[in-house]
Amino acid sequence: MRKWIVAGNWKMNNTLAESIALAKAIKEGSSGLQGGAIVLAPPFTALAAVGETIKGSNVSLCAQNIYCEDKGAFTGEISPVMLKDVGCTYVIIGHSERRKYFHEGDNDVNLKVKKAISAGLTPIMCVGETEEERVKGITQDVISRQINQGLKDVEKIECIVIAYEPVWAIGTGKVATTAQAQEVHAFIRGILKDKFGSNAANNVCILYGGSVTKDNIGDLISMDDIDGALVGGASLKTDGFLGIIKKISGKK
Ligand code: PEP
């Protein structure tokens, strides 16, 4: 049995006060839920405060990005040592917005994934095709390249989470159908089986991301290879995010 994971990516949203209030509401509203992980990824400025707010609860702290060195002259970057220092246990790597706006490629993703693992952080490695790539019929080629290059020289995947986020579904309101999502999730698990063996691959959590809401997650989470969700917009509102958490924890 794989555990479920619901991760909220707050992106570049929320002041310190807003972050603390939202984290407190999620912590209180989800207390007692078992069998999975609830993960919050606030902006860097709120990591320490949110870490304090969720201390001792079943909610975990996640960064939205990482740099692949421990320290030094890398202005504007944040190292794994610093993330651990404020209580992070997860980090999102290779989100499509980082790939698109900050030109991160598969090699950058790979360096960050390896660095996160060696520092003891759980990477949530994001992959996904654009609308153009789907229309061209090359979704599997894109996903296979992102998985193989992102995990190059990674020896163990027990400590990795994968998020399948079709780029055309992120922030657009266009959610993938259950069949589209399950097909890619199963394809990803197949690649992991070839690379790491069935046992290891069957234990990896693969999250779906892209316009998830409490109203559409029920069908998605009933699919065999969908183990949870990475949520953007709907993670910014207490009711919406708690609704997603409750649907997922109730079905898995
Ligand atoms: C995301 O940014 O990872 C995401 C899935 O966003 P949204 O839920 O808003 O589509």
Q: What is the pLDDT of residue 14?
A: 98
pLDDT tens per residue, range 158-184: 899 999 999 999 999 999 999 999 999
Closest by Cα among 47, 85, 81, 82 to 63: 47
Q: What is the pLDDT of residue 35?
A: 87
Give strand pairing partners of 59.
38
Closest by Cα among 171, 167, 165, 168 to 188: 165
Question: Coil, strand, or helix at residue 159?
Answer: coil
Please list, in sequence order, all residues whose beta carbon lies within 8 angstroms of the beta carbon of residue 182, skipping any fewer than 6 positions away.
Answer: 223, 224, 225, 226
**Which residue is closest in CA terms to ligand 1's atom 1?**
232
Cα–ligand 1 centroid distance for 211 (angstroms)? 6
Q: What is the pLDDT of residue 87?
A: 97
Q: How far is CA 244 from the centre of its chain?
A: 15
Q: What is the pLDDT of residue 122?
A: 98
Q: Which atom of ligand 1 is nearest to the CA of 231?
A: 8
**Which residue is closest in CA terms to ligand 1's atom 8?**
232
Choice from 230, 235, 236, 248 to test ligand 1 binding pocket (greatest atom count within 8 A of CB): 230
Return d(Cα 54, Cα 50) in angstroms, integer. 6
Q: Which atom of ligand 1 is nearest to the CA of 11?
A: 2
Question: How far is the CA of 132 from the CAs of 100, 139, 219, in angstroms?
Answer: 14, 9, 26
Write down the mean pLDDT value for the chain: 97
Asked if pLDDT for residue 153 goes beyond 90, the answer is: yes
User: Which two structure tokens, joined as six digits, stand for 115?
Assistant: 């660095």
pLDDT band at 187 (very low <50, low <70, confident <90, very high): very high
Asked if pLDDT for residue 1 goes beyond 80, the answer is: no
Q: Which atom of ligand 1 is nearest to the CA of 233?
A: 9
Asked if pLDDT for residue 102 goes beyond 80, the answer is: yes
Do the Cβ atoms of 47 and 84 come closer than 8 Å? no
Asked if pLDDT for residue 252 goes beyond 80, the answer is: no
pLDDT tens per residue, range 42-53: 999 999 999 999
Cβ-based neighbour number of residue 201 at 10 Å: 18
Name the residue type at position 191. Answer: I
Asked if pLDDT for residue 131 goes beyond 90, the answer is: yes
pLDDT over 70, % of the chain: 100
**Which residue is closest in CA terms to ligand 1's atom 7?**
232
Radius of gyration of the chain (CA): 17
Cα–ligand 1 centroid distance for 229 (angstroms)? 9
Give strand pairing partners of 93.
125
pLDDT tens per residue, range 10-33: 999 999 999 999 999 999 999 988
Choice from 92, 165, 208, 241 to test ligand 1 binding pocket (greatest atom count within 8 A of CB): 165
Return d(Cα 61, Cα 64) in angstroms, integer. 10
User: Model pTM?
Assistant: 0.97
**Which residues are annotated as catalytic?**
95, 165
Closest by Cα among 226, 244, 213 to 184: 226
Phi, psi of 111 (to 5 degrees): -60, -40
Q: What is the pLDDT of residue 251?
A: 84
Give the pocket of ligand 1 (CB within 6 Å).
Answer: 9, 165, 170-171, 209-212, 230-234
Q: What is the pLDDT of residue 34?
A: 85
**Which residue is closest in CA terms to ligand 1's atom 4?**
232
Q: What is the pLDDT of residue 101?
A: 97
Q: What is the pLDDT of residue 103?
A: 97
